[in-house]
């Protein structure tokens, strides 16, 4: 699985701890967002949520680990996009339940509020729980059929209520799109010329030269 780590400016100093906690699990970790404070262009949760949705919809990431100071800003922003099911993960129990019940592809972490002594260890516990269970298995087991039906209905509703990622790339405010697409490494990761979604590829080329 390809896991994209996307840190925004207020939590850039937590990037190394997140990446370290994800190591040794057999996944490919893509460190996409801010690695330290003060980098340019500066990414807020508006930019990182756009990037998260773009990478998921483009098939360049299977899962996104992100967040912000409280986790709420990124959560609310990323859920505006198609094809994203995000959980607000505050504890290992949240992390254990979310993939089983909701089968999501993105998590938002609280990276400033309450992030103190031994929080790097708590991140490891969260990722242990998040990736040790079967995605979509359901919990408790007697509820698994109902939960699968609910996830299917929610996905259908999401398709009705969201515009396509290509439409969003074409029409989104330049203040969101430009910093996100110009961030170092994003162009190489997207590799627009090989995208399966040709409409998305065309939209990206129209927004930024060199794609």
Domains of the chain are 2-207 (3.40.1400.10)
Q: How many CB atoms lie within 10 A of CB 24?
A: 9
pLDDT, averaged across the chain: 96
- Per the structure block, which two tokens stand in for 162? 């969201």
Can you count the helices (H) and strands (E) in the chain? 10, 5
183 — pLDDT class (breaks 50, 70, 90): very high
210 vs 129, higher pLDDT: 129
Phi, psi at residue 110, to the nearest 5°?
A: -85, 110
Q: Which residues contact 61 (CB under 8 A, 6 or more apart)?
A: 2, 3, 4, 30, 32, 52, 55
Question: Are 4 and 61 contacting, i.e. CB atoms less than 8 angstroms apart?
Answer: yes
pLDDT at 210 over 80: no
- Per the structure block, which two tokens stand in for 208? 């930024």
Q: Which residues pair with 107 in a beta bridge?
A: 65, 87
Q: Which residues contact 66 (CB under 8 A, 6 or more apart)?
A: 5, 6, 7, 8, 33, 48, 49, 52, 74, 78, 106, 107, 108, 109
Distance CA 150, CA 207 (A): 36
Q: pLDDT by residue (tens digit) across 109-135?
A: 999 999 999 999 999 999 999 999 999
Q: Does residue 33 sit in helix, strand or coil?
A: coil
CA 164 to mean position of chain CA atoms: 17
Question: Are 74 and 51 contacting, i.e. CB atoms less than 8 angstroms apart?
Answer: no
Distance CA 7, CA 161 (A): 27
Q: pLDDT by residue (tens digit) across 82-115?
A: 999 999 999 999 999 999 999 999 999 999 999 9
CA 186 to mean position of chain CA atoms: 14
């Amino acid at each position: 699985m390809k896991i994209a780590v996307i840190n925004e400016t207020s939590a850039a100093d937590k990037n190394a701890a997140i990446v370290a906690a994800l190591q040794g699990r057999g996944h490919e970790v893509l460190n996409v967002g801010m690695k330290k404070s003060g980098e340019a262009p500066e990414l807020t949760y508006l930019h990182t949520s756009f990037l998260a949705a773009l990478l998921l919809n483009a098939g360049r990431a299977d899962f996104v680990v992100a967040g912000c100071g409280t986790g709420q800003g990124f959560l609310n922003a990323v859920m505006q996009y198609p094809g994203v099911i995000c959980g607000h993960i505050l504890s290992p129990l949240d992390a254990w339940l979310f993939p089983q019940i909701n089968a999501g592809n993105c998590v938002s972490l609280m990276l400033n509020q309450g992030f103190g002594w031994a929080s790097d260890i708590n991140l490891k516990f969260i990722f242990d729980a998040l990736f040790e269970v079967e995605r979509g298995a359901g919990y408790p087991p007697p509820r698994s059929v109902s939960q699968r039906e609910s996830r299917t209905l929610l996905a259908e509703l999401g398709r009705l209520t969201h515009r396509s990622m290509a439409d969003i790339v074409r029409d989104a405010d330049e203040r969101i799109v430009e910093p996100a697409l110009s961030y170092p490494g994003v162009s190489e990761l997207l590799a627009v010329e090989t995208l399966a979604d040709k409409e998305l590829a065309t939209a990206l080329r129209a927004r930024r030269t060199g794609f």
